[in-house]
């Protein structure tokens, strides 16, 4: 089953169950300057989860374009992605656990034809703050989950909250048994060995966590769900990785044809980062040295580095962009409209980075001379990190150049500095997301509604080409 078929089945199923289909929000948040990108389906719906009335009603469904930046350096393995699509359905004070679970089970077993024996679920086991979620467990049994296929875990696995304070609650997660043998006697859905793959998460928002750590019951109980399209496509097609599905296969095949040096990791990095960059640019993103612009720049430059590693001529980049857009336009028709902009932005950034590589090499030569004058043959990790952080000069290139000059590099020190840098970035991102959820009051909610009304009025009067790519709504 193709990805677009899964998406359409999902939206139509929930439409038949009384849900209004709403459009995907842009990757660049419309009314929240506190976050870099839309990271989950619930993010654009926070005001409505907190009580604002949604114009489409209390039952919603959509596909949401998402981008998460914490895994950029992991992309290249068999599973990590930065850009992905999240299918979701929401109840804003409407149905709750029983109907949510019943619909999830029906969709998986009837619409996607997943054998019930392949499905496992997890529920919240309870603690001093909140009781064991026996209701969800009973609902799963009633729906048809087999005996022995229900597990209970604590807050680390089966509890959802954004930040330290706000709406939260237990969740129930669905897992697909790939058929791989158990890694041990204790192998179960919480294991990372790859036998059980999480496919869907239903969050039951029934509590509010206060700043002092107390939990109180919410007046409006919500359901917030998320199903990863790429992962589901991979599993239903019996593929080992998302890169083996139609979402990536054409570009992976083309890279294999063009490469002079074979490297599966580099091919995956190029394919993934190119898709993510195309989606960001199409939604209004542009490269820069700060915030989301820096993330886009980092994605494009990492892609360029690995094209060089594959020894693919950079003149082929335009063809690769065309191929990607052609492959994705059925799912995202707007890409065809934005094709020239996408190509111009990526090519321009490529040209700048080629110059950056040149600058980095010159700085490297200066550092080599300093080290040689000191009678040493080892380059400090601080130098490697400075070349990377200031000039975008890849540490692997530094290592290769050092080897050509009969020198070594201290990559252990570089790794330490790089991890410190990552941790600072992660903490910063978490603070941003926390801030975005905190500033919700009567006045900003009213302004938020007014912004949507104005945007729609402009589109009605001037045309569908009018597009909002960001705004800052505060008191």
220 plus 269 within the same structural domain = no
Report the alpha-carbon distance of residue 428 to residue 432 in Å, rounded: 6
Residue, of 167 and 151, whose pLDDT is higher: 151
Q: Which residues contact 50 (CB under 8 A, 6 or more apart)?
A: 167, 440
Q: Is residue 172 predicted with pLDDT exceeding 60?
A: yes
pLDDT for position 382:
92
Residue 370 included in any domain? no
273 plus 204 within the same structural domain = no
Residue 369 included in any domain? no
Note the pTM of the prediction, 2 decimals. 0.81
Q: Is residue 435 predicted with pLDDT exceeding 50?
A: no
85 plus 128 within the same structural domain = yes
pLDDT for position 436:
42
pLDDT-derived band at 466 (thresholds 50, 70, 90) equals confident
User: pLDDT > 70: what percent of the chain?
Assistant: 95
Instruction: Give, rounded to a whole angstrom, the gap between the first and last alpha carbons of the chain.
Output: 48
227 plus 268 within the same structural domain = no
The token pair that represents 226 in the structure block: 């998320």
Residue 234 included in any domain? yes
Residue 277 included in any domain? yes
40 plus 148 within the same structural domain = yes
460 plus 429 within the same structural domain = no
pLDDT for position 11:
98
133 plus 216 within the same structural domain = yes
User: pLDDT > 90: what percent of the chain?
Assistant: 61
pLDDT for position 237:
96
Residue 360 included in any domain? no
Residue 53 included in any domain? yes
277 plus 164 within the same structural domain = no
CB burial of 298-314 (b: ≥16 within 10 Å; e: otherwise) equals: bbbbbbbbbbbbbebee
- What total of structural domains would you count in the chain? 4
Question: In which domain, by residue range, is 300 found?
Answer: 248-353
100 plus 233 within the same structural domain = yes
387 plus 454 within the same structural domain = no
Confirm if 144 and 105 have CB atoms less than 8 A apart.
yes
Query: Residue 190's domain is classified under what CATH number?
Result: 3.30.930.10
Residue 380 included in any domain? yes
Residue 371 included in any domain? no
pLDDT for position 311:
94
Structure confidence by residue, pLDDT tens digits, 364-376: 889 889 888 888 8
CA atoms within 13 A on the CB side of 102: 9
pLDDT for position 438:
44
Residue, of 455 and 235, whose pLDDT is higher: 235
pLDDT for position 430:
53
420 plus 435 within the same structural domain = yes
106 plus 252 within the same structural domain = no
């Amino acid at each position: 089953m193709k990805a677009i078929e899964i998406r359409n089945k999902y939206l139509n199923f929930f439409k038949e169950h009384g849900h209004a289909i709403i459009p995907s929000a842009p990757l660049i948040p419309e009314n929240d300057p506190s976050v870099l990108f839309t990271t989950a389906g619930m993010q654009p719906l926070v005001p409505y989860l907190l009580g604002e009335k949604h114009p489409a009603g209390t039952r919603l469904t959509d596909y949401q374009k998402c981008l998460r930046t914490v895994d950029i350096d992991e992309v290249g393995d068999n599973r990590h992605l930065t850009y992905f699509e999240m299918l979701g359905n929401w109840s804003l004070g409407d149905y709750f656990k029983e109907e949510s679970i019943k619909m999830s089970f029906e969709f998986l077993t009837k619409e996607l034809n997943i054998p019930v024996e392949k499905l496992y679920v997890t529920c919240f086991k309870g603690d001093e703050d909140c009781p064991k979620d026996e209701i969800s467990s009973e609902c799963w049994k009633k729906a048809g989950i087999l005996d022995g296929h229900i597990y209970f875990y604590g807050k680390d696995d089966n509890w959802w909250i954004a930040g330290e304070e706000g709406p939260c609650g237990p969740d129930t997660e669905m897992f697909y048994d790939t058929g791989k043998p158990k890694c041990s006697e204790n192998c179960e859905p919480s294991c990372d060995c790859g036998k059980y793959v999480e496919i869907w998460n239903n969050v039951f928002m029934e509590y509010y966590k206060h700043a002092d750590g107390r939990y109180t019951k919410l007046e409006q109980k919500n359901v917030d769900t998320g199903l990863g399209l790429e992962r589901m496509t991979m599993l239903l097609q019996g593929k080992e990785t998302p890169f083996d599905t139609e979402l990536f296969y054409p570009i992976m095949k083309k890279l294999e044809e063009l490469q002079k040096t074979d490297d599966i990791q580099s091919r995956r990095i190029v394919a993934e980062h190119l898709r993510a960059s195309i989606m960001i640019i199409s939604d209004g993103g542009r490269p820069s040295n700060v915030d989301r612009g820096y993330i886009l720049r980092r994605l494009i430059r990492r892609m360029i580095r690995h094209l060089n590693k594959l020894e693919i001529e950079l003149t082929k980049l335009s063809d690769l962009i065309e191929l990607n857009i052609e492959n994705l336009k059925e799912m995202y028709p707007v890409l065809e409209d934005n094709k020239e902009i996408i190509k111009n932005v990526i090519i321009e950034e490529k040209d700048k980075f080629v110059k950056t590589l040149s600058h980095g090499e010159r700085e490297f030569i200066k550092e080599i001379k300093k080290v040689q004058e000191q009678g040493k043959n080892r380059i400090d990790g601080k130098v490697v990190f400075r070349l990377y952080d200031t000039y975008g000069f890849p540490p692997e290139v530094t290592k290769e150049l050092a080897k050509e000059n009969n020198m070594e590099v201290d990559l252990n020190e570089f790794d330490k500095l790089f991890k410190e840098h990552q941790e600072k970035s992660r903490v910063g991102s978490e603070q941003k997301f926390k801030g975005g959820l905190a500033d919700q009051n009567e006045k900003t909610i009213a302004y938020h509604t007014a912004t949507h009304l104005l945007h729609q009025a402009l589109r009605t009067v001037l045309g569908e080409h009018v597009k909002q790519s960001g705004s800052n709504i505060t008191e």
